[in-house]
Copies of this chain bind each other. A is one copy, B any other.
Amino acid sequence: MAEKTSSFFEAAQRQAEEAGKRGEVPVGAVLVDSRTNAPLAAFGNRIEELSDPTAHAELLCIREGASRLGNARLSFCDLYVTLEPCAMCASAIAFARIRRLYFGAYDPKGGGVDHGPCIFEQPTCHHRPEVYGGIDEERCKSLLTDFFAERREKKA
């Protein structure tokens, strides 16, 4: 993993950890302007906090990044996420014209990139980013499995 990719991934993982501490499913994302390598937005899930079913880490990054750039199209931006995006987020990535998507753990149950509706493979999908999945997979996966194991323990 290149140094830059690694540091953006670590930042996404930190966002996921912080989300977990807030009781959110621990997924984190960072949006980066590839022209300058400057991070434009970094979020973990905030669904419960905001009472917003659309407040996935990826969607929050896209909204914040587009707002900061004053442009609904983020053609020069790359998105780093700890988990394979769902169909909602994958569709938003396509609408935003994101250049590259890097994600960590694969998500056979809820993913919409390599699983389920495979959004970017749909003939009606207007934009397909370059996709790099399975990055630092074990660490990204353990963020989630640890969270759910702890939650089960608390309930037991």
Which A residues lie at the B interface, using CB under 8 A?
Answer: 47-48, 50-55, 59, 62-63, 66-67, 69-74, 86-88, 90-92, 95-97, 109-112, 115-119, 122-125
Contacts and interface: CB of A to CB of B under 8 A. Distances in A.
A124 B119 contact: no
Contacts of A96: 53-54
A128 to B, nearest CB: 14
Q: A-side binding surface: helix, strand, loop or mixed?
A: loop
A39 B122 CA distance: 34
Contacts of A73: 53
Contact of A51 (B54, B72, B91, B92): B72
Nearest to A117: B117
A51 B65 CA distance: 9
A66 B62 CA distance: 20
Q: Residue among A66, A71, A110 with the most chain B CB within 10 A?
A: A66
A93 to B, nearest CB: 9
